[in-house]
Amino acid sequence: MCGIIGYIGNKNVSEVLFHGLYSLEYRGYDSAGMAISDGKDLKITKCVGRVSNLEDKYKKDNNKGFFGIAHTRWATNGGASLENAHPHSVGKVTLVHNGIIENADNIKLSLIDKGYSFSSETDSEVIAAFLDNELKNNNILNSIQVMRKELKGSYALGIIIEGEECIYAVRKDSPLLIGVNRNEFFLASDIAAILKYTNKYFLLDEGETAVLERNDYKVYRDEKIIHKDIITTDSKSQSLDKFDYEHFMLKEIMEEPIVLKNLIDSYKNGDNIKYYDISNYEEVHIVACGSAMYAGLIGQALIEEEANIKVNVYAASEYRYKKKIFNLKTLVILVSQSGETADTIAAMREVKEMNIPTLGIINNPNSTMARECDYVILINAGVEVAVATTKAYINQVCVLALIAYTTSLKKGLSNDVSISEFESIPNLLHDVLNNTFIYEEIAKDLYEHNNCFFIGRGIDYAICMEGSLKLKEVSYIHSEAYQAGELKHGTISLIEKGIPVIAVMSDRFLKDKTLSNLKETLARGAYGIVITTSELDDFKDFRKVTLPSVNSFCQSLLIVPTLQLISYYVSLYRGCDIDKPKNLAKSVTVE
Ligand code: AGP
């Protein structure tokens, strides 16, 4: 949810910190700040808004130093303001924080009784005051131990103590890694922030405290120094370049044919193949958030339809609190691009405690979920910089479609379907995506509206859910995805003259039903847009997208990208901030 970067070494500290902040801005961009120290003086610079605002401001202060911490914020406790921007400094303690402290209010009151006053609304400032108070009777390591016992909630912290030439790092639930190089050390929320400098790192685990000094680092657990294995990642410096694309979102949509091809090739090579066969299970729970959950809805339709296994899809934020009913042959599939979504992690841990097998469909190989799920299928979509997910979503759908395909083959239910059906998709999608004129024209029909409906039945409804979310996320149009047959049971009252209704019709058995529902809206003045396949296209007077007809396992892989592109162009025409939509963050690591 927020991004943390820290550095100690001989490089220009501000350069390292700014590079990290720009790499982490996808995690939140309401405000930013940094603290740099030369061991004696610590200088804090903060801004509201983007990291670029901080860079402008920093030049004016122009301070020196050899270690520092920095932060880019997604507001949780307290709005986007200078007072709430990190780092927060109380007494001897200066820190940056990613996470939410659930009992911060009570701790704050007790600290106020001890004479502390607060200039921000944040829980992070409370942590700084808590540690400062503990330091009156304890050294920092013991104070951190006390903090671990008292604080409830999640945190990743970079901490500088007045008079000490080192950075302390601790975490609970929120991600934090330590990058290592000769005589220089980093802390970061995500490996992408430091890959320019090192590909050697370790993940800080809960209960551990890292101390980064000028020429050495130590990691403590219960006040004892422990060893941490260094991981060397083979990911090249994750390309954070848009090349000649105007936006990362467009670049990442256009990458979908290649990331799909890589995934299908890895499946054919047998990578993790045993995890694609779920024929031994009688029931599947798919648990995720947002777009990942909507990928799950497509997975549900395909696994039930083609592999004859019962599937329920749950929002992780609900699932983690609901009564769970499992039978002995239940598999829980958790879908997450970041592998750091707080609600999905919590659901995973709860299910694991109940000894139910967990399969993670994950993009980030260095994430908490990639480490903790019993089985993992990496979707290898590469780094997504745009906050709105596109290529990762499509690979999530492809993995779920391959699970349905593999399982149905194993159960002898789809013998006539070959993997070549999947292999044909990347080239077909490449051609579909290059027809941008069609999507630009539809976007011109949409961008001046403030309300919009998507309707579909069965798997087409699942597709509508993601299409609608994409449009909302990047264009701020209030869009609603509706089961086509449900619209007339009340919500049709919202249909008025000119309102766009996008009908997805790819299922030959349900097409005529959905068309009837579309006509019910047209009869009330709606403006219909049809997304369909060449097999079903007998639509004369509609603005439409006609896609190649492919096997039911793969059809959604051609439909969703067109809805992503339409959303992209609508956002472009509305002048929205496409790669960093307002109020959003790429990885929701808080509840
Ligand atoms: C961003 O476009 C998505 N719409 C967002 O809903 C995302 O899918 C959700 O936050 C889950 O993230 P994850 O896949 O990293 O767990």
Q: Express each pLDDT in 438-466 by its tens digit.
A: 999 999 999 999 999 999 999 999 999 99
> Region 214-234: what's the mean pLDDT?
91
pLDDT at 238 over 60: no
Average pLDDT, the chain: 93
Structure confidence at residue 294 as a pLDDT band (50, 70, 90): very high
CA 293 to ligand 1 center in whole angstroms? 8
Nearest CA to ligand 1 atom 1: 388
pLDDT at 63: 66
Task: Count the alpha carbons within 13 Å of 375 in the hemisphere toward its beta carbon.
Answer: 16
pLDDT tens-digit map of 484-494: 999 999 999 99
Is the domain spanning 433-579 CATH 3.90.1170.50? The answer is no
The CA-CA-CA angle for residues 136, 142, 144, to 5°, reads 95
Q: Is 579 exposed, middle or buried (0-12, 13-18, 19+ CB in 10 A)?
A: buried
pLDDT tens-digit map of 157-190: 999 999 999 999 999 988 899 999 989 999 998 8
* Ligand 1 proximity of 337 Cβ (cutoff 6 Å): yes
DSSP-assigned letter for residue 230:
P
* Ligand 1 proximity of 369 Cβ (cutoff 6 Å): no
Structure confidence at residue 588 as a pLDDT band (50, 70, 90): confident
* CATH number of this structure's domain 3-232, picked from the four choices 3.30.360.10, 3.10.150.10, 3.60.20.10, 3.40.50.2300: 3.60.20.10
Structure confidence at residue 298 as a pLDDT band (50, 70, 90): very high
Per-domain boundaries in the chain: 3-232, 241-423, 433-579
Nearest CA to ligand 1 atom 9: 290
CA 11 to ligand 1 center in whole angstroms? 35
Ligand 1, atom nearest to 341 Cα: 16
Ligand 1, atom nearest to 389 Cα: 2
Alpha helices in 288-367 (DSSP H): 290-307, 316-319, 342-353
Structure confidence at residue 1 as a pLDDT band (50, 70, 90): low
pLDDT tens-digit map of 106-121: 999 999 999 999 999 9
Nearest CA to ligand 1 atom 10: 290
> Region 377-387: what's the mean pLDDT?
92
Q: Is 62 exposed, middle or buried (0-12, 13-18, 19+ CB in 10 A)?
A: exposed
Cα-based distances in Å from 337 to 257, 442, 455, 562: 18, 29, 26, 20
Structure confidence at residue 74 as a pLDDT band (50, 70, 90): confident
Is the domain spanning 241-423 CATH 3.40.50.10490? The answer is yes
Structure confidence at residue 291 as a pLDDT band (50, 70, 90): very high
DSSP-assigned letter for residue 270:
T
pLDDT tens-digit map of 258-279: 899 999 999 999 988 999 999 9
Q: Percent of the chain scored above 90 by pLDDT?
A: 81
Nearest CA to ligand 1 atom 16: 336
Closest of 334, 359, 375, 289 to residue 591, by C-alpha: 289
Q: How many CB atoms lie within 10 A of CB 445?
A: 16
Nearest CA to ligand 1 atom 6: 290
* Cα dihedral value 252, 565, 267, 282, nearest 10: 120
> Region 406-435: what's the mean pLDDT?
93
Q: Is 214 exposed, middle or buried (0-12, 13-18, 19+ CB in 10 A)?
A: middle
Closest of 458, 565, 474 to residue 508, by C-alpha: 458
Closest of 334, 388, 394 to residue 362, by C-alpha: 334
pLDDT at 346: 96
Round to whole Å and give the CA distance between 492 and 501.
Answer: 11
CA 290 to ligand 1 center in whole angstroms? 5
Q: Fold identical between 241-423 and 433-579? A: yes
Closest of 477, 526, 521, 529 to residue 497, by C-alpha: 526
Length of the chain: 591
pLDDT tens-digit map of 493-505: 999 999 999 999 9
Ligand 1, atom nearest to 584 Cα: 1
Residue type for position 522: L
CA 588 to ligand 1 center in whole angstroms? 8
* Ligand 1 proximity of 292 Cβ (cutoff 6 Å): yes
* Ligand 1 proximity of 336 Cβ (cutoff 6 Å): yes
Catalytic residue numbers? 2, 586
The CA-CA-CA angle for residues 401, 558, 311, to 5°, reads 30
